[in-house]
Amino acid sequence: MFDSQSRLIAAKQGDAQAKGELLDRFRPYLNVIAQRLLDDRLKARMDFSDLVQATYLEASRDFGSFRGESIESFLAWLRHILRNNISSAHQEHLATHKRSAKLEVNISPMGNSGSSPMHLEHLIPAETSSPSQRMMKTEAAAMLAACIEHLPVTQADAIRMRYLEGMSLREISEQINKSEMAVAGLLKRGLQGMREEMARIKSGTSSFW
């Protein structure tokens, strides 16, 4: 099993390989957040992965300035860099719009689906929780993000819309131009795929872990 805390300690001691492995470990985590925060009007113009890559390179370049000692503080540092990059992209590309180009993050459910959407806050360890609780939540968030990354695109999109955005089957159906039955099938296969990937991660056979 990947020991992120040990990688962090090694990276802070100058181990370039450990730093690269640590950043690669949390790239899917940043992907999920970037997709959640990037304005819909920009998604047709730019790929969220470009912002994540820019964050990756910036974090690698400036790692020496990171003063934290825990994975929680490391992830908070990565999120700060990513948010700044997304905010800059919004300001650059949306400055001519009437709406303020200031980064706005709406994490309320889109529609009344009756489900319990897993919003962005659930991917971020709360500062009020204990160190062990924050670590468990951090590991769970990274594992979840990695599982989503391994799904086919249509299944991953359906999972994100349903469980990150809280959209109803009808809303997803209209968004991706498929029937509600087809959407339900995508969700079923996506959840099954995530369970299988999670089992591989836990058994140590996943290529990501």
Structural domain ending residue among the three candidates 55, 70, 105: 105
C-beta atoms surrounding 149 within 10 Å:
15
Task: Give me the pLDDT at residue 110, please.
Answer: 32
CA dist 161 and 196 (Å) reads 21
130 lies in the same domain as 190: yes
Mark whether 18 and 74 lie in a shared domain: yes
- Reported as a single tens digit per residue, the pLDDT across 142-171 is 667 777 877 898 998 888 788 766 788 999
Helix (H, G, I), strand (E, B) or coil at 79: helix
- The domain spanning residue 151 has which CATH number? 1.10.10.10
pTM for the structure as a whole: 0.56
Confidence of residue 121 (pLDDT cuts 50, 70, 90): very low
What are the C-alpha distances in Å from 5 to residues 14, 111, 146? 15, 39, 18
Of 105, 132, 150, which residue constitutes the final position of a domain? Answer: 105
The range of the structural domain enclosing residue 192 comes to 114-209
42: buried, middle or exposed (CB in 10 Å: 19+, 13-18, 0-12)? middle
